[in-house]
Amino acid sequence: MKKTIIFTLAAAAFSIIMPACQKEKGGNSGESGGEYALDVYWSDSYSGKYGIQVGTAVTKPNQPSMMLGGTPLYVTGVNCYNLFVQCHETDNMNTKEMQETVDVLAKEKVPIVRFSCGPFYASQMHFYTDQKDLFLSNLGTLADLCDQKHILLIPSIFWNTSCVPEYCGEALAAWGDTSSETYKFMVAYTTDIVNTLKGHKCVAAWEFGNEFNLAADIGSQGYADIPAKAIGTAYKGFAETIQSLDNQGRLISSGNSVMRNAQWNLANNGSWNNDSFKQYVEISGIMTPEPMKGMSEHVYEESRVFSDLGTLNRTYQLIRAKEAAASLGKVYYVGEFTGPKTAHGDSVMVKKHYAAYLSQKVQLSLIWNYALRGEIEWSFKAGTEYGDMAFRYMRKYNESFKAIKPE
């Protein structure tokens, strides 16, 4: 969400609103799942692969599953957009605020964090290009701290996907041109980030950026034009670059939001007609190309509508999303969901998200968004009503995830 170009062309306005499906069902939180993945992974005796691996589901042999420490992973955590970038945005290339943030995350028992891992604006790129050693040293310091505090990290490397093309003096579509300066910069920057972080146990997975799918195929609406297939080209190159560098084989993902209701139709005929479920699966595959194995979606309060299935409530949205991911050989996770600020303090709204992810056994979910000072859009901070709500629910539902029976 934060500082993305949120293309609120309101696909919902073009959607056929149909009656929602049945009520959401309860979870299986009483079932015992044996050893908990995080306990196994952070034990002093653990000597296996670092980060989230893609294995096979316990009860569904043909379905991929997130594994940590050789054990199925079920966990909920937080987004902390400026965990790293506050070093150059507000702390004069120092790490004081970053260290304070990590201390709060540890105090609140946050097990996993998604964060922005690069400059947001082209005008900020000099922090990397002119002070590269310090820039990467600060990132290494973050990983050192999180290794010590047992906090898993998901760096989202190109959060604002217009930043690099603008810096390189190219159009947004240059992401899809393997000979462009944008693409070359992507490879070089990704290489620096991965080489800085890959030796750290705290690094759980790699993510391309934030909600790039929402930029696809809307040039006719006055936005910068980039086809879905061009985004897929960038994703593929990103994943291949990481695969060549990270011998741990960690999960690689896009950072996509939920697909637009018309994502396939926009890509194929410029139409805002709702996609069928089959079309949703197809466009999700284009937007999660091999060797990417993580199918990311961001789930807020907008209706999920299909031309053949109608309007789905959250439970059925998750069921269908997991089905789509499995059919593509991917693992599904919710990279952002409604936090207390986004919900305007409605604790029931926030709790319904957690309950849905528990009942549908979504292996990874991350609430939006903790910030040390609370200054990032729609953010909460510790020691406030909203912060207490978010952290309390996170801890409560992680206790339930510990007891879940793996799929």
What is the pLDDT averaged over residues 351-355?
98
In whole angstroms, what is the distance from residue 355 CA to residue 347 CA? 12
Residue 26 has what pLDDT?
A: 34
In whole angstroms, what is the distance from residue 186 CA to residue 348 CA? 41
> Could you read off the pLDDT of 135-182 as tens digits, one per residue?
999 999 999 999 999 999 999 999 999 999 999 999 999 999 999 999
Q: Mean pLDDT score of the chain, rounded to an integer?
A: 93
Distance of CA 147 to CAs 264, 279, 360, Å? Answer: 41, 41, 30
Among residues 101, 122, 119, 81, the alpha carbon closest in space to that of 376 is found at: 81
In whole angstroms, what is the distance from residue 333 CA to residue 330 CA? 10
Cα angle 371, 372, 375 (rounded to 5 degrees) comes to 55
pLDDT higher for 2 or 182? 182
Residue 355 has what pLDDT?
A: 98
> Could you read off the pLDDT of 98-143 as tens digits, one per residue?
999 999 999 999 999 999 999 999 999 999 999 999 999 999 999 9
> Could you read off the pLDDT of 213-225 as tens digits, one per residue?
999 999 988 899 9
Structure token digits, residue 316: 């059925």
What is the pLDDT averaged over residues 15-32?
36
Residue 221 has what pLDDT?
A: 86
Q: Is the pLDDT of residue 203 over 80?
A: yes
Contact 135, 184 (CB under 8 A): no
CA atoms within 13 A on the CB side of 223: 16
Q: Is the pLDDT of residue 32 over 60?
A: no
Per-residue pLDDT band for 229 (boundaries 50, 70, 90) equals very high
Contact 150, 201 (CB under 8 A): no
Q: Is the pLDDT of residue 43 over 50?
A: yes
Tell me, what DSSP letter sits at residue 356?
Answer: H
Structure token digits, residue 138: 């600060």
Cβ burial, residue 403 (10 Å; 0-12/13-18/19+): middle
In whole angstroms, what is the distance from residue 359 CA to residue 315 CA? 8
**Class of CATH domain 11-402:** alpha beta
What is the pLDDT averaged over residues 328-351?
97
Residue 33 has what pLDDT?
A: 54
Residue indicated by tokens 């999660």: 288
* Contacts made by residues 217-224, CB under 8 angstroms, sequence distance 24+: 217/263, 217/266, 217/267, 217/270, 218/7, 218/9, 218/266, 220/270, 221/7, 221/9, 223/5, 223/7, 224/162, 224/171, 224/172, 224/173
Q: Is the pLDDT of residue 25 over 90?
A: no
In whole angstroms, what is the distance from residue 197 CA to residue 301 CA? 34
**Helix extents (H) in 217-337:** 228-245, 263-269, 277-286, 314-327
Residue 97 has what pLDDT?
A: 98
What is the pLDDT averaged over residues 188-205?
98
Q: Is the pLDDT of residue 186 over 90?
A: yes
In whole angstroms, what is the distance from residue 35 CA to residue 203 CA? 21
Q: Is the pLDDT of residue 21 over 70?
A: no
Say which range, 19-33, 58-72, 206-220, has the weakest mean pLDDT: 19-33
Q: Is the pLDDT of residue 234 over 60?
A: yes
Per-residue pLDDT band for 11 (boundaries 50, 70, 90) equals very low
In whole angstroms, what is the distance from residue 140 CA to residue 114 CA? 16
Residue 7 has what pLDDT?
A: 40
Residue 153 has what pLDDT?
A: 99
In whole angstroms, what is the distance from residue 84 CA to residue 151 CA? 14
Which pTM value belongs to this model? 0.93
Report phi then psi at 332, rounded to 5: -100, 140
In the chain, where the domains are located: 11-402
Structure token digits, residue 263: 């994502």
Contact 284, 326 (CB under 8 A): no
Residue 31 has what pLDDT?
A: 45
Cα angle 176, 181, 182 (rounded to 5 degrees) comes to 50
Distance of CA 335 to CAs 76, 101, 135, 143, Å? Answer: 10, 20, 25, 20
Structure token digits, residue 23: 């009520």
Q: Is the pLDDT of residue 303 over 60?
A: yes
